[in-house]
Amino acid sequence: MQNTYADVIISINVATLDKIFQYKIPTELIQKAQVGKRVSVPFGYGNRYETGYIIGIGQHLSWEEDKVKTIKEVLDEEEAISEELILLARWMKDRYLATLSSCLQTIIPKQLINAERYLDIADYNTIDKVIEEVKKRGYKRQYELLHYLYCHGVTNVKSLKGMIPASVINTLLKKGIIRYSEPGDKEDDDEEFLLEEPLTLGYEQQKVYNKIISSICENKFSQYLLQGVTGSGKTEVYMQLIEEVLHQGKEAIVLVPEIALTPQMVHKFKSRFGSLVGVTHSRLNQTERLTVWKGARDGQIKVVLGPRSAVFAPFSQLGIVIIDEEHELSYKSETHPKYNTIEVAKKRCEMQNGVLLLGSATPSVNTFYEASKGNMSYLAMQKRVAGAMPKVELVDMRIELENGNKNVFSRSLHEAIEDRLEKGQQIILFLNRRGHSTFVSCRSCGFVLKCPNCDLPYTYHRSDHKMQCHHCGLKVGIHEKCPSCQSKYIKYFGVGTQKIEYLIEKTFPTARILRMDLDTTTKKNAHEKYYHDFKAGKADILIGTQMIAKGLDFPNVTLVGVIAADMSLYSSDFRAAERTFQLLTQVAGRAGRNKYPGEVIIQTYSPENYAVQAALYQDYDLFYQQEILFRENMDYPPFTNILTFLIQHHSEKLVVESIQTLYSILQYYGATKGFEIIGPAPANLSKLKNNYRWHIIVKHKDYGRLKNYAEYCMKVFYKYNKSVTLLYDLNPLIIH
């Protein structure tokens, strides 16, 4: 019989060891050794035993037979990770130019990677008796171990070191009194949810539902874009689709941006699907994360709801992956592997014959373009379930000023606020900048106080009377005198959410105010509290950053005021118009979601801009038609692919030298082959945390060629240059 070999990746938390090693599988382990299980293998010159993952099995050996070592032990009874997810990791490695280690680490929970071993009592029903007996026999050590496990539950083997000899553990394992286990076994949920019945779908909802259900029943891969205006009832459609998916014995993943993972969202899903739902979010600890992972792998959990990493839920019968608010930037990872969640979800659906559903009121230009080319099916819901679309008004702040109004609030916004306060209706005021004043400068000489690490203006915070850099977090006391000319005329310019709060307090002293931004929501559950308080009517006005723009459903809100629509319009990113339109539409969507009509007042200095105009008319097509022309003329995505390189170091000279080297390499290998090389130039954040940063942008129509080119040029670059950090990103959503 032929030998069988395993491809093993060792110590996957060490990226430098990103190599696959082959090991012989001894005959007695042939049955047990499977892809996805952990093994103990001899490694290196000293043949130390290391833990690795089997990521492939085959008959072909790519080394010399006499050099190949043999697997010592298979550590898992059942595979820790499925073959499908290992294939996915390999695909990600290739697509995003990442190490296989980093891909596996992204997919597998930490505790499974560390390959730590845990012990538990095998049968809690009989353990009392066993403990009694062991005690009477006088097996002191065995008694100690059992007693310990009895009191502590699942225990890391490491923590028993020095306390209990390994031989005692082995004896009890052999007898089947204790067993290897994993932490985080699903505990009973304390929270009880009253299960709610599905609602009767409206006409538009039903049409969309029917279409997608037919694909789900076909059991083959397909993808949909669902464009539904804010309040059109997308979530209800999602839930009913999932119900059918579960009915067919399949599983579902629902992805939402972290910021939209509100208590109301979780509540909706829990009250529909009870304990079949597992929720993940960034504040979970490792054990909580593992609990959801294992629940999904072992079948107690059938629906995983969470931000982008939930796309890796270890399901094997994926019926549907839903990506809500698909246009959100957070679906692209900013750390390696820099994956795009939509692409990963698509890959998983392809592998498992599932349906991919992208939902948004304002689809990304890329997604809409794909749909317009027929690469995915397009579905729309244009009517709100309850209430009409809000009435939107633009206020030109230049004219306000001409008419002598120097206030932050235009006259119409002022009147509208007054009116709602009188009527006892609620108001949302939106400004995408936290803090009090967004820069501090000297009125005598114009000197702007900046963070020495990042070369960006400080923001003044009134709550602690300090200046803070919003990039690196540095906080300093305020200056009494100008550091440049010593004058006393330090002034605070620009407006942040804190200042809006202060101004509202002054202008409307009786109004009850809540402010929601990064500064007020650092505590765990702060979001929940603010949300419930506002919904319960404990405040009249909610002031906030983009944190309040998404998905929140407050029926009593009839006025939304956008303090400054231009804030995101003039960033140097080619997606600035797209961002602005999306943000304005999302915020506007918070108004009038119930019986009272909603009103939106957008204050702007650029009322003629097409993104602002399209927001005024709530007209996606108007925006898209202009934007797609711009993208095509300027050769931006979706018409091309973008690769960014960024070099950073604390020596500016070194950065400039190395970016030049990189530029020469890129030129040499690519200039005549259709690669457009832009730069080098200082990055958008040209100094960050004491590092100087320069970047180069490369464009090419073919993703695969761009990627290979990047890989090759980086290799050449590292031959010459090892001291600087070279960062890269393929099709980034934010250009740094």
Residue 445 Cβ vs Zn ion, minimum distance, rounded to whole Å:
3
Which listed range, 141-149, 229-237, 255-263, 475-483, lies at the site for Zn ion (CB under 5 A)?
475-483
Provide the β-strand partners of residue 694: 647, 682
Residue 518 binds which of ligand ADP, Zn ion, none (CB < 5-8 A, kind-dependent): none
| DSSP conformation class of 390 | P
Residue 451 binds which of ligand ADP, Zn ion, none (CB < 5-8 A, kind-dependent): Zn ion
Residue 207 Cβ vs ligand ADP, minimum distance, rounded to whole Å:
12
Q: Is residue 136 classed as helix, strand or coil in its secondary structure? A: helix
Which listed range, 197-205, 329-337, 395-403, 644-652, lies at the site for ligand ADP (CB under 6 A)?
197-205
Residue 554 Cβ vs ligand ADP, minimum distance, rounded to whole Å:
10
Report the candidate in 180, 179, 150, 143 with the shortest Cα–Cα distance to residue 164: 143
Residue 378 Cβ vs ligand ADP, minimum distance, rounded to whole Å:
16
**Is 232 one of the binding residues for ligand ADP (CB under 6 A)?**
yes
Residue 482 binds which of Zn ion, ligand ADP, none (CB < 5-8 A, kind-dependent): Zn ion
Residue 263 Cβ vs ligand ADP, minimum distance, rounded to whole Å:
14
b/e code 8-40 from CB counts within 10 Å (16+ = b)? bbbbbeeeebbeebbbbbeeebeeebbbbbbbe
Tokens of 274: 């009870």
Residue 233 binds which of Zn ion, ligand ADP, none (CB < 5-8 A, kind-dependent): ligand ADP
CA 680, CA 671: separation in Å to the nearest integer?
14
Residue 234 binds which of ligand ADP, Zn ion, none (CB < 5-8 A, kind-dependent): ligand ADP
Number of amino acids touching ligand ADP (CB under 6 A): 16
The interface mask with ligand ADP, positions 29-68, x = CB under 6 A, is ----------------------------------------
Q: What is the DSSP string of 193-233?
A: ----PPPPP-HHHHHHHHHHHHHHHHTS-EEEEEEE-TTS-
CA 697, CA 645: separation in Å to the nearest integer?
6
Q: Is residue 403 classed as helix, strand or coil in its secondary structure? A: coil
Residue 476 binds which of Zn ion, ligand ADP, none (CB < 5-8 A, kind-dependent): none
Of the pair 230, 731, the CB lying nearest ligand ADP is at 230
CA dihedral angle for residue 516, residue 256, residue 254, residue 270, rounded to 10 degrees: 0
**Is 591 one of the binding residues for Zn ion (CB under 5 A)?**
no
Which listed range, 193-201, 340-348, 414-422, 681-689, lies at the site for ligand ADP (CB under 6 A)?
193-201
Residue 371 Cβ vs ligand ADP, minimum distance, rounded to whole Å:
18
Binding residues for Zn ion restricted to 507-566, rule: CB under 5 A: none
Provide the β-strand partners of residue 543: 429, 515
CA 303, CA 414: separation in Å to the nearest integer?
46
Contact present, 206 and 353 (Cβ < 8 Å): no
- 26 prior amide bond cis, ω within 30: no
**Is 386 one of the binding residues for ligand ADP (CB under 6 A)?**
yes
Backbone dihedral region for residue 729 (phi beyond 0: left; psi -120 to 50: alpha; all else: beta): beta
Distances (CA, A) of 730 to 21, 332, 520, 539: 29, 10, 34, 45
User: Which residue's CB atom is positioned nearest to ligand ADP?
Assistant: 233
Of the pair 366, 459, the CB lying nearest Zn ion is at 459
CA 474, CA 454: separation in Å to the nearest integer?
10
**Is 437 one of the binding residues for ligand ADP (CB under 6 A)?**
no
Which listed range, 18-26, 225-233, 300-308, 504-512, lies at the site for ligand ADP (CB under 6 A)?
225-233
The interface mask with Zn ion, positions 422-461, x = CB under 5 A, is --------------------x-xx-x---x-xx-------
**Is 202 one of the binding residues for ligand ADP (CB under 6 A)?**
yes
Angle, helices 576-588/620-634, rounded to nearest 10 degrees: 170
Residue 693 Cβ vs Zn ion, minimum distance, rounded to whole Å:
13
Binding residues for ligand ADP restricted to 233-252, rule: CB under 6 A: 233-236
Backbone dihedral region for residue 368 (phi beyond 0: left; psi -120 to 50: alpha; all else: beta): alpha
CA 262, CA 325: separation in Å to the nearest integer?
13
Report the candidate in 134, 448, 106 with the shortest Cα–Cα distance to residue 289: 106
The interface mask with ligand ADP, positions 655-684, x = CB under 6 A, is ------------------------------
Q: Give alpha helix (H) positions in 497-574.
A: 497-507, 526-535
CA 325, CA 357: separation in Å to the nearest integer?
11
**Is 205 one of the binding residues for ligand ADP (CB under 6 A)?**
yes
**Is 326 one of the binding residues for ligand ADP (CB under 6 A)?**
no
**Is 598 one of the binding residues for ligand ADP (CB under 6 A)?**
no
Number of amino acids touching Zn ion (CB under 5 A): 15
The interface mask with Zn ion, positions 478-507, x = CB under 5 A, is ----x-xx-x--------------------
Residue 278 Cβ vs ligand ADP, minimum distance, rounded to whole Å:
21
State which of residues 195, 199, 448, 485 lies at the interface with ligand ADP (CB under 6 A): 199
Backbone dihedral region for residue 274 (phi beyond 0: left; psi -120 to 50: alpha; all else: beta): left
Report the candidate in 557, 464, 443, 462 with the shortest Cα–Cα distance to residue 506: 462
Q: What are phi and psi of 529, to 5 degrees?
A: -65, -50
Residue 229 Cβ vs ligand ADP, minimum distance, rounded to whole Å:
7
Residue 733 binds which of ligand ADP, Zn ion, none (CB < 5-8 A, kind-dependent): none
Residue 535 Cβ vs ligand ADP, minimum distance, rounded to whole Å:
12
Report the candidate in 666, 670, 671 with the shortest Cα–Cα distance to residue 728: 666
Q: Give alpha helix (H) positions in 431-525.
A: 497-507
Of the pair 227, 459, the CB lying nearest Zn ion is at 459
**Is 585 one of the binding residues for ligand ADP (CB under 6 A)?**
no
State which of residues 76, 79, 182, 553 lies at the interface with ligand ADP (CB under 6 A): 553
Neighbours of 312 (CB within 10 A): 28
CA 348, CA 356: separation in Å to the nearest integer?
9
Residue 232 binds which of Zn ion, ligand ADP, none (CB < 5-8 A, kind-dependent): ligand ADP
**Is 231 one of the binding residues for ligand ADP (CB under 6 A)?**
yes
**Is 230 one of the binding residues for ligand ADP (CB under 6 A)?**
yes
Residues in the chain: 736
Residue 206 Cβ vs ligand ADP, minimum distance, rounded to whole Å:
9
Residue 274 binds which of Zn ion, ligand ADP, none (CB < 5-8 A, kind-dependent): none
Contact present, 238 and 273 (Cβ < 8 Å): no
Residue 309 Cβ vs ligand ADP, minimum distance, rounded to whole Å:
22
Residue 726 binds which of ligand ADP, Zn ion, none (CB < 5-8 A, kind-dependent): none
Instruction: Give the pairing of strands 599-604 and 557-562.
Output: parallel
State which of residues 90, 471, 705, 736 lies at the interface with Zn ion (CB under 5 A): 471
Binding residues for ligand ADP restricted to 446-465, rule: CB under 6 A: none
**Is 385 one of the binding residues for ligand ADP (CB under 6 A)?**
yes
Q: Is residue 710 classed as helix, strand or coil in its secondary structure? A: helix
Contact present, 436 and 461 (Cβ < 8 Å): yes
Residue 382 Cβ vs ligand ADP, minimum distance, rounded to whole Å:
11
Residue 235 binds which of Zn ion, ligand ADP, none (CB < 5-8 A, kind-dependent): ligand ADP
Which residues make up the interface to ligand ADP (CB under 6 A)?
Answer: 199-202, 205, 228, 230-236, 385-386, 553
Which residues make up the interface to Zn ion (CB under 5 A)?
Answer: 442, 444-445, 447, 451, 453-454, 469, 471-472, 474, 482, 484-485, 487
